[in-house]
Amino acid sequence: MIRIIEPRFSEEEKLAINGILESHQITRGEWTKRFEEEFARYLGVKHAFTVCSGTVALFIALKAIGVEGKKVVVPAMSFMATIDAVLLAGGIPIVIDVDEYYTMDVSQLEHVAKRYKPVVALPVHLYGQTANMEDILYLSERYGFLVLEDAAQAHGAEYKGKKAGALGHISAFSFYASKNVPMGEGGVIATDDDALAKQVKKWIDFGDHPAFNVRITEFQAAIGSIQLKYLDEKNRRRRQVAKRYEEHLSGYLTTPSEREGAYHVYHLYTLRHTQRDRIIQHLKDRGIDARIYYTYLLNEIRDAEHMPLERATRFKKEVFSIPVHPYLTDDEVDYIIEGVLSAAQVFIT
Ligand SMILES: Cc1ncc(COP(=O)(O)O)c(C=O)c1O
């Protein structure tokens, strides 16, 4: 089976893990500090705090802002953690539609900003491409809300020369096993804002109020630090694979397009087709893993007010993703293209 997600590790990680075992400093030591510094430097922000998951990173970022009883705008298409974090932090989610790039629709954002006076917009850089941050930040100034980026799928993505996670006021990353920087489990809250960073710290170092232990171990930090070194190179390979898919598949299915000014890092390569279930089966029969991200809209799985979701509702029925990880060989890429094209001949009319 050609897997859709494939974290890989080398001697470098093994050596680091052995070193940690021998040092007996297995949590909150040099590796964790180093990773936080490296990640902040990589993004170009002052603060990066490691936590145990992306969901917890979102939750703490929302708590740091203070969203209890207040409205938070989320896009309809994302992993459920995006809306769960809002609900757990005591916020009231308002779900809006996506644009043609699968990210927060800015015209609906303006509409709900006027009508609901939200405190936060939570754009998700879905599949590895940033939302329309220029317009979102313009609306944030105009209507006085903060922007929390869900950058769980966008390590290394850029928009107009700045890294995803450094575009809004605060951001959350996940280092779950499938992500472009995999750690197994883990998260980061990043911000350039000292006041927000101070609030974040209260949820990390036990102190002012009851909090959870959200630490990661040295093992995770070491893996994250080593994986981060190769992130840019691996993202370049993802883009190369995506380019080949685009060249061969765009006449037959709806391929992802890159927003002007964006650097897409293809965490997932997501196609659209009305016959997607049959295409997925056809690919699986040929040993190619293809999956749907996601089978639900956020307002369908949790109780939330929502705007008309015309695009998201259509996209949900048509999207499916094929392998795009950096370890695919050229032969595998050709095999996947052949698989999709042969499905195209059977099912595409
Ligand atoms: C868009 C998005 N947000 C949030 C999360 C939550 O991250 P985690 O699984 O590390 O809690 C994920 C990934 O799992 C995600 O893809």
> Which ranges of 213-307 would DSSP assign to H, the alpha helix?
218-229, 231-249, 276-285, 298-301
Identify the domain containing residue 16 by its residue range: 11-229
Q: Does residue 74 lie within any of the structural domains?
A: yes
User: Residue 293 — φ and ψ, nearest 5°?
Assistant: -120, 100
Domain boundary at 229, 256, 271, which? Answer: 229
Q: Are residues 145 and 104 in the same domain?
A: yes
Domain boundary at 175, 197, 229, which? Answer: 229
Measured in Å, residue 174 CA sits from the centre of ligand 1 at 6
Q: Does residue 172 lie within any of the structural domains?
A: yes
Both tokens assigned to 83: 């809306």
Counting the structural domains of the chain, the total is 2
Q: Are residues 152 and 61 in the same domain?
A: yes
User: Residue 117 — φ and ψ, nearest 5°?
Assistant: 50, 60
Q: How far is C-alpha 151 from the chain's CA centre?
A: 4
Position 218, amino acid: E
Give yes or no for residue 53 CB within 6 A of ligand 1: yes
Q: Are residues 240 and 221 in the same domain?
A: no
Q: Does residue 208 lie within any of the structural domains?
A: yes
pLDDT of 10 reads: 96
pLDDT of 348 reads: 64
pLDDT of 285 reads: 97
Q: Are residues 205 and 251 in the same domain?
A: no
Give yes or no for residue 85 CB within 6 A of ligand 1: no
Give yes or no for residue 150 CB within 6 A of ligand 1: yes
Q: Are residues 208 and 241 in the same domain?
A: no
pLDDT of 9 reads: 97
Measured in Å, residue 59 CA sits from the centre of ligand 1 at 11
Q: Are residues 283 and 192 in the same domain?
A: no
Catalytic status, residue 70: no
Q: Are residues 209 and 237 in the same domain?
A: no
Q: Are residues 131 and 210 in the same domain?
A: yes
Q: What is the CATH number of the domain that holds 53?
A: 3.40.640.10
Residues 6+ apart with CB under 8 A from 166: 43, 44, 45, 190, 192
Q: Are residues 244 and 189 in the same domain?
A: no
Q: Are residues 237 and 184 in the same domain?
A: no
From the candidates 179, 198, 202, 229, which is the catalytic residue? Answer: 179
Which of 174, 188, 216, 296 to probe ligand 1 with, by most ligand atoms within 8 A of CB? 174
Q: What is the CATH number of the domain that holds 342?
A: 3.90.1150.10
Q: Are residues 216 and 265 in the same domain?
A: no
Closest ligand 1 atom number to CA of residue 176: 10
Domain boundary at 182, 211, 229, which? Answer: 229
Q: Does residue 6 lie within any of the structural domains?
A: no
Position 65, amino acid: I
Q: Does residue 273 lie within any of the structural domains?
A: yes
Q: Are residues 105 and 135 in the same domain?
A: yes
Q: What is the mean pLDDT of each run of 10 residues along the chain (349 residues)?
A: 95 98 95 98 98 98 98 98 98 98 98 98 98 98 98 98 98 97 98 98 90 96 98 98 98 96 98 96 97 98 98 98 98 98 78
Q: Does residue 310 lie within any of the structural domains?
A: yes
Q: Does residue 270 lie within any of the structural domains?
A: yes
DSSP string, 280-330: HHHHHHTTB--B-S-SS-HHHHS--EE---HHHHHHHHHEEEE---TT--H
Q: Does residue 4 lie within any of the structural domains?
A: no
